[in-house]
Amino acid sequence: MKEQRLGILGGTFDPIHYGHLMVAEAAREKFFLDKVIFMPASIPPHKHGVLTDFWHRYLMVTLAILGNPFFEASRLEYERGGITYTVDTMRQLRQIHGDAAELFFITGVDTILDIFGWKEPEELLSLCRFIVAARPGLDLHIVSEVFGKYYSLVVMPLEMPQLDISSSDIRKRIREGRSIKYLVPESVEQYIIQQKLYL
């Protein structure tokens, strides 16, 4: 049986935007991933403030990836319940897919800088490799300093054009009555309008 190469893109996706989709597709193409699983967080440990209901965020992800056979939305963290730690998610994915799957956690430089402050970082490093995308204002070279001796074993840098789009900026634009066209897929924009989100 062929070993599956699975990318996992975690986040709050509040809302999902073209930046997320571009990173997922660039990672899939560069590292020959069989599938990218979008993993909306249920209760993320590091995010503070009000989070939009899980089902709204999950449905927006589903709408955004519709038509891409290589992308999949997951409810795994929601169904597990409680605070969602990356190490627990990776353990669960390892149990589901077994040793026949190679797991790649897709993330940005900004997120990964604090990895040794995450829950059970050494265990996490043994469960998956990290595809790390550059972010505006943050160079990929800083990641080697953070990971030290682990860098060559677990980090796969992803160089790609950077889109300076953030979910928080999209929410702010909506509150201010400004356009979010071309920042999110049209289906996501229509869902936000219909459900009166972020007002």
Q: What is the mean pLDDT of residues 42-64?
A: 90
Is it the case that residue 160 has pLDDT exceeding 90? no
70 within some domain: yes
Among 55-64, 66-75, 147-156, which is the least confidently predicted range?
A: 147-156
Higher-pLDDT residue of 112 and 92 is 92
Residue 42, classed as helix, strand or coil, is coil
Q: What is the mean pLDDT of residues 1-14?
A: 91
120 within some domain: yes
Tokens (6 digits) for 154:
């677990």
Among 110-119, 135-144, 186-195, which is the least confidently predicted range?
A: 135-144
Residue range of the domain that includes 149: 4-164
75 within some domain: yes
Q: Model confidence at 37, in pLDDT bands (50, 70, 90)?
A: very high
Q: Report d(CA 65, CA 60) in Å as an integer.
A: 9
How many helices (H) and strands (E) in the chain? 10, 6
Average pLDDT, the chain: 93
Q: Given CA atoms 163, 166, 65, 134 in this order, what sign does their dihedral have?
A: positive
Cβ neighbours around 20 below 10 Å, total: 23
63 within some domain: yes
How many structural domains is the chain composed of? 1
Predicted confidence at residue 26, as pLDDT, reads 97
Q: What is the mean pLDDT of residues 52-76?
A: 98
Cβ proximity of 127 and 115 under 8 Å = no
Tokens (6 digits) for 76:
């795994």
Q: Model confidence at 163, in pLDDT bands (50, 70, 90)?
A: confident
Predicted confidence at residue 1, as pLDDT, reads 57
Is it the case that residue 73 has pLDDT exceeding 70? yes
What amino acid occupies position 30? K
Q: Report d(CA 42, CA 32) in Å as an integer.
A: 28
Q: What is the mean pLDDT of residues 143-148?
A: 88
143 within some domain: yes
pLDDT cut 70: percent of the chain above it = 98
124 within some domain: yes
141 within some domain: yes
Residue 64, classed as helix, strand or coil, is helix
88 within some domain: yes
Cβ neighbours around 73 below 10 Å, total: 20
Is it the case that residue 102 has pLDDT exceeding 60? yes
Q: What strands, in cross-sheet order, belong to the sheet with 35-40?
A: 71-73, 35-40, 4-11, 101-108, 129-133, 155-158
**What CATH number is attached to the domain comprising 153?**
3.40.50.620
Paired with 106 in beta bridges are: 9, 131
Q: Given CA atoms 47, 51, 57, 61 in this order, what sign does their dihedral have?
A: negative
